[in-house]
Structure 1
Amino acid sequence: MLHVMDRLSLKSQLSVFTTLVFHHTVVVLLLTHSCAGQSQLIGSPQPIVAIAGGDIILPSHLEPAVDAVGMTVEWTRPDLKPRFVHMWRDGWELVYKKHPFYEGRTSLFMDKLEHGDVSLQLSKVKLSDEGKYRCFILPLGRETTVQLVVGK
């Protein structure tokens, strides 16, 4: 009798194991499929050249286009502390996180966010603005970098 119970128990365990493996495979397939269709974040492969005192756009967009209005968009300079140049979260700019060098000089294009354009406009460019900028879209886990070169 004990032998029959062990066999039934083993059969039940195998059934549960097979079901778990099947569900795990389906989940992995679904995740692979959903990741394949996600947008990529595209920046500029060439450095962006600016003249001190002028305005410049650091280009970055989602391709294919996705509405970014409700997303978290971070523009940073890794060599600065705090590193945030511009922070956009759920429809609001988070000014308190911004590096003081950039106060009142950065913006996103509100009318273009819904079309996946997360480009950063930098006004009154300074020589000290030269460097590598990183754009990161938090919910998508996508990032790109843009190099800014500033001349007199």
Structure 2
Amino acid sequence: MLILMFCCLSSSSSLRMKMISSILLLLILSSCLCGEPAVTKQREIKISAVPGQNVSLPCRLPNNKPAVVVKWTRPDLEPENVLLFRDDQPDPEIQHPSFRKRVELQDRRMKDGDVSLLLSNVTTNDSGKYECQVSQTEATDRKRRTLTSDPIRIVLLDVQKTD
């Protein structure tokens, strides 16, 4: 890389521009090929808590389309549902028993796209990976269709006792 840069400094301006363009292209390609995509890192956050705390796990809709269903899950549990919110209310039927009466949406109206999860009285058993998923409705000229998404937010919750 240093050799290329040295050549750029000592060459004509046309050749210099081509070499700079090549270097930039190499840098962009190498950053795209190394590691996880930037989108994944942006949507994953870590939160620490102590037992007994109430915790907000943040999640926001990616656009202005209304959410039909909001689903918070913990993939390591069976059933994995932490909160399923549909038809403007929580659906406790397929919810993991350890979260009953301890979770709710921060704003049931989802004002400004806020679909954050409030988890009350956390314990060390609540530590884990939480995923926020939404289904949204898209209106087209001919019909309405439901759009489902991969997780739009992943929260890694770490609940540890203090010494």
Q: Determine the C-alpha separation between the residues in 1 that align with 2:155 and 2:78.
A: 18
Q: How many residues align?
A: 110
Q: CA 1:49/1:65 → structure 2, altered by over 3 Å: closer, same or farther?
A: farther
Identity %: 35
CA distance in 1, matches of 2:79, 2:72: 12
Query: Which residue matches 1:45?
Result: 44
- 5 Å-filtered alignment, 1:1-152, equals 45-68=44-67, 71-110=68-107, 113-138=110-135, 139-143=147-151, 144-152=153-161
Give the SS at the match of 1:132: strand
- After TM superposition, the runs of 4+ consecutive aligned structure 1 residues lying more than 2 A away are 42-46, 63-68, 109-112
1:140 positional shift: 4.0
Q: Which residue is 2:26 aligned to? A: none
Pair 1:44–1:142, CA change in 2 (3 A): closer
For 1:66 and 1:113, the matched residues in 2 are separated by 11
Q: CA deviation at 1:92?
A: 1.3
- How far apart are the structure 2 equivalents of 1:43 and 1:53? 28
Pair 1:111–1:103, CA change in 2 (3 A): closer
Q: Which 5+ residue runs of structure 1 have no aligned equivalent?
A: 1-39
Over alpha carbons, which structure has the higher Rg?
A: 1
Measured against aligned partners, the alpha-carbon deviations of 1:106-135 in whole angstroms (never above 9, x if no partner) come to: 000235503111100000001000000011
Deviates more, 1:89-98 or 1:136-145: 136-145
Alpha-carbon contact 2:88-2:108 (below 8 Å) kept: no
Which whole-Å CA distance do the structure 2 matches of 1:119 and 1:81 have between them?
22
Question: What SS is found at the alignment partner of 2:61?
Answer: strand
In the TM superposition, residue 88 of structure 1 has moved relative to its aligned partner by 0.3
